[in-house]
Amino acid sequence: MRSLLAISILSFAGLVLPACAQNQARPELVKTAQGEVRGTVEDDAKVYRGIPFAAAPVASLRWKPPQPAAPWRGVRQVAEFGPSCPQGRIPASGGREANAIRGASSEDCLTLNIWAPVRSNKPLPVMVWIHGGAHRVGSGSAPFYDGSAFARDGVILVTFNYRLGLLGYFAHPALTAEAAANAPLANYGTMDQLAALRWVQANIAAFGGDPKNVTVFGESAGGVATLSLLTLPEAKGLFQKAIVESGDGWNMTPSLAEAERTGVAALAAAGVKPGATVEELRALPPETFASFKSGVGFGPIVDGRFLRQSTAQAFEAGNVIDVSLIIGFNSDEGSLMESFQMGSSAMLSSVPGAGLAALRAAYGERAPTDEALARRLFADGAFSAPARWIAGKSAGGAPSWLYRFDYVAERMRAQRSGARHGGEIPFVFDSWSAIPAIAQALTPEDKKMVSTIHGCWVSFAKTGTPVCPGAPAWPAYAPAAGTLLDFAATTTPRTGFDKPIYDVLERALLPRALGAAPRR
């Protein structure tokens, strides 16, 4: 399933062309720990783009934990997004992912963006978004991540960039030898995410935010990142709530030794000479590390220093930060198989023989062919069943809520068999304006779903309980009942949804994520 994770956490929404700032006014100055900034006023939001939250990870700081951003004198104008982090192109698939165009990229990319209401007389809840993109691509400035609707509804939104690919998730024997004992290794992208949350704690009050009411949320790789943060003791107190959209909790997280072997092989494939020193590696242009092959996966690494356990191991042992949690998945996560041209035989071979037979029986006529079964396995093995399991593991402390997103805008229903991976994002952000042709064709039913799920997320950020406008009450998850909220044409709670299938997948796939043999 490790190759499944590497592919499955790609988010189409992390790849859309960054929006251009439209300056309409000059808001008051804001004093941060590094210096004063001035953003713009756009409609009802104060917007601050491209604020450095850490020093540029270049030269001697490449493959090092993020360092504090340097202070500046005078007023820093923050009207434009910063560059995205270096990244490769997506494998050609004919889909939106392959044709996306990014703005400028640079290794000096550790910046964040803030949307805040123009008027407020009290500290406001804060939501911090972690973008998706398989830990390979994307940025915090994609148009679908526009925070205007959150600001309109009394929530401050923060988005940010983090290091990607071989610059963000990389281990090498030379780097290990260079590092001090117990110095964190390999997970530089995750370290950036932690640094962004620390910056929020130190500075968000100056923008009108409440540092004691922070919700971290992310989709795909951003969901995986959110789960990883929940396993880090260093993250305790940096956020009080979390939302995981389509994040895999059963990923086969490599050890440091495994990641070192992968790192050496990746450099060789990039044409780097064997035995290159750390100094020589840091002198290479970032483009050397930006490209990737479809079989190369990136993401968290158990280095034993910073990341001590995989997500599954930490949740199984209860070694996680206990916060209120929303977690869920979309109804057609299997659409990613098309994007990556993944064959059904490779997918089915990831399940042991006895487990595959049980899975065929559980799906029955719902997956009559190997192709249909592989698509369901891709979706349910990486997203649906892990989400249910994580919700159950979390339910014993602070409450958790499980959802399934099965809504497709009416104009797109003829081309969709369900809600594709990332399909919930423009509903969550109320950001369909990023695609004007669809925005102009939204029906009253579509707009109702925008109001429902966006309202859920806003109410959760404000109060810790999701109240969804126009939808029935969403019960907190309890393993005995197994109730999720199904966001669909008719949004409704559903009890025991696909329980026989998820039970089979849990027996077949979870043990390997925990480092054990599959249960029969």
* pLDDT over threshold 70, residue 24: no
Using CA atoms of 240, 244, 250, 254 in order, give the dihedral in degrees to the nearest 10: -70
d(CA 114, CA 207): 9
As a whole number of Å, the end-to-end CA separation of the chain is 18
* pLDDT the model gives residue 309: 96
By CB atoms closer than 10 A (0-12, 13-18, 19+), residue 226 is buried
- Residue 469's pLDDT band (boundaries 50, 70, 90)? very high
Query: What span, in angstroms and rounded, lies between the C-alpha atoms of 1 and 352?
Result: 11
For residues 483 and 344, give the distance between their C-alpha atoms in angstroms, rounded to a whole number: 31
pLDDT at 118 over 70: yes
Question: What distances in angstroms separate CA 350 from CA 15, 156, 193, 430, one per listed residue?
Answer: 28, 42, 31, 37
pLDDT at 415: 86
Q: Does pLDDT of 119 surpass 70?
A: yes
- H or E element: which one contains 500? helix 499-513
Q: What is the dihedral of CA 134, 308, 509, 190, to 10 degrees?
A: -10
Catalytic residue among 107, 260, 333, 506: 333
Find the catalytic residue in 8, 105, 220, 310: 220
pLDDT of residue 117: 96
93 vs 364, more confident: 364
Q: Do residues 210 and 154 lie in contact, with contact meaning Cβ atoms separated by under 8 Å? A: no
Q: pLDDT tens digits for 165-182?
A: 999 999 999 999 999 999
Per-residue pLDDT reduced to its tens digit, 123-180: 999 999 999 998 998 999 999 999 999 999 999 999 999 999 999 999 999 999 999 9
pLDDT for 21 equals 41
- What are the pLDDT digits (tens) for 41-69? 998 899 999 999 999 999 999 999 999 99
Q: Residue 199 — pLDDT band, cuts 50, 70, 90?
A: very high
The DSSP secondary-structure symbol of 380 reads I
DSSP labels, 224-293: HHHHHHHT-GGGTTS-SEEEEES--SS--PPBHHHHHHHHHHHHHHTTPPTT--HHHHHHS-GGGGT---
Query: Residue 3 above 60 pLDDT?
Result: no
Q: Which helix (H) or strand (E) holds 458?
A: helix 444-463
* Length of the chain measured in residues: 520
From the candidates 421, 431, 454, 459, give the one annotated as an active-site residue: 421
> To the nearest 10°, the Cα dihedral for 113, 133, 125, 110?
-30
Residues near 314 by beta carbon (within 8 Å), at least 6 away in sequence:
230, 231, 308, 320
Amino acid at 97: E
CA angle 9, 10, 14 (to 5 degrees): 125
**More confident call, 491 vs 272:** 491
User: Which pLDDT does position 89 carry in this prediction?
Assistant: 65
List, in sequence order, every residue forming a beta bridge with 48; answer none if it has no partner. Answer: 114
Q: Predicted confidence band at 516 (pLDDT cuts at 50, 70, 90)? A: low
What is the distance between the alpha carbons of residues 406 and 109, in angstroms, rounded to a whole number? 35
Q: How confident is the model at residue 6 (pLDDT cuts 50, 70, 90)?
A: very low
pLDDT of 37 strictly over 90: yes
Distance of alpha carbon 336 from alpha carbon 514, whole angstroms: 25
Residue 25 has pLDDT above 50, yes or no: yes
Q: Are 162 and 194 in contact (CB under 8 A)?
A: no
Question: For the residues 391-400, what does the mean pLDDT come to?
Answer: 96
- Which of the four pLDDT bands, split at 50, 70 and 90, describes residue 200? very high
418-422: average pLDDT: 94
Distance CA 64, CA 257 (A): 18
Query: In sequence order, what are the beta bridge partners of 328?
Result: 245, 403
Measured in degrees and rounded to the nearest 5, phi and psi for residue 40 equal: -135, 165
Q: Which residue has the higher pLDDT, 51 or 274?
A: 51
Q: Where are the beta strands (DSSP E) in 415-491?
A: 483-487
Catalytic annotation on 258? no
Per-residue pLDDT of 450-462, as tens digits, reads 999 999 999 999 9
Task: Please say if 220 is a catalytic residue.
Answer: yes
pLDDT tops 70 at residue 91? no
Q: Residues 495, 505: contact at Cβ < 8 Å? A: no
State how far the alpha carbon of 253 is from the alpha carbons of 124, 259, 322, 513, 517, in Å.
Answer: 36, 9, 22, 8, 16
- SS3 annotation, 280-339: HHHHCCHHHHCCCCCCCCCCCCECCCCCCCCHHHHHHHCCCCCCEEEEEEECEHHHHHHH
pLDDT exceeds cutoff 80 at 120: yes
Question: What's the average model confidence in pLDDT over 23-42?
Answer: 87
Contacts of 22 (CB under 8 A, 6+ apart): 40, 42
Residue 132 near residue 221 (C-beta atoms within 8 A) = yes
CA-to-CA distance for 316 and 157, rounded, in angstroms? Answer: 31
pTM: 0.93
Share of the chain above pLDDT 70, in %: 89
CB 219 within 8 A of CB 245: yes
Does 508 or 127 have the greater pLDDT score?
Answer: 127
In this prediction, residue 298 has a pLDDT band, given cuts at 50, 70 and 90, of confident
Q: What is the CATH code of the structural domain delimited by 2-339+382-404?
A: 3.40.50.1820
Q: What is the mean pLDDT of residues 249-269?
A: 92
333 is catalytic: yes
